[in-house]
Amino acid sequence: MAVIVAGLAGIAWFTLELMPPVLGFDDTDNPGVSLDYLRQHPQFYALAGITLFIMAIAYIVASFAVSDALAPRTSSITRRSLSALGLFSAAFFFMHGVLRDSVGPLLYIDSVNSGWGESAYLAIQMVGLHGFAQAGLLALCAWGVGISAAGARSHALPMWLCVLGLVAGLRLVLLIVGSFMTAAEIDLPGYLWILSIALIPFGMLWWLCLGVALLVKSRRNHEQRPVSPAR
């Protein structure tokens, strides 16, 4: 159930992150534009923070639930390593949630001095969205790829789900390729950025499907469990 909650929370978080351009505030890296957005719609940042807290807690529980689902046909070191990735992801999303939940102090600083407000926003934007959020997504992709590989190898998960998990993990490949292209001073094609963004909600939907698959598997195992004879 925790995996389902995490997937739903992830979809909600991604939707909330899209609110600025939907409401006409296109350049979220522009502190002036974003502060104007926060003055008019501070509730969306606060809701994003709450959603990220729920995601973090759900992924903590999910890291152990998935580990149990992969047992006993997956080695202990593999399951522990995957759980560690899940915990890292949860920690990163939690910290991003803390920064998203700081909209009140941010607006107060801006009310005292607009220059300070813009500086504070840029710090939150770089550390939060471009730092903790990206780290959380990176760990989440690696975790999903590991789960898919382990699930396919041990037949603990449906093959279609494992294939979709590897597709969702393409974001990890794009991040690595993008880093090499940047280091080589090669301009990134626009479609790579669009694909990278599109893989975020796709990945969240994959976690939702994983949660449903684990729930169905758990119920089947419960139904097939032999009933001990009454004494």
Give residue-wise pLDDT tens across range 165-223.
Answer: 988 888 888 888 878 888 887 887 778 888 888 889 999 999 999 999 888 887 777 66
CB-count exposure of residue 215 (10 Å: 0-12, 13-18, 19+)? middle
Query: For position 218, what pLDDT does the model report?
Result: 78
Residue 225: predicted pLDDT: 61
Contacts of 33 (CB under 8 A, 6+ apart): 25, 26, 27
Residues in the chain: 231
pLDDT of residue 223: 67
Do 52 and 89 contact (CB within 8 A), yes or no?
no
pTM here? 0.88
For residue 222, the tally of other CB atoms under 10 A from its CB is: 8
Would you state the structure tokens that stand for residue 163, as one six-digit string?
A: 């294939």
pLDDT, position 189: 79
Helix (H, G, I), strand (E, B) or coil at 227: coil
Q: pLDDT below 50 — which residues of the chain?
A: 227, 230-231
Which pLDDT belongs to residue 59?
95
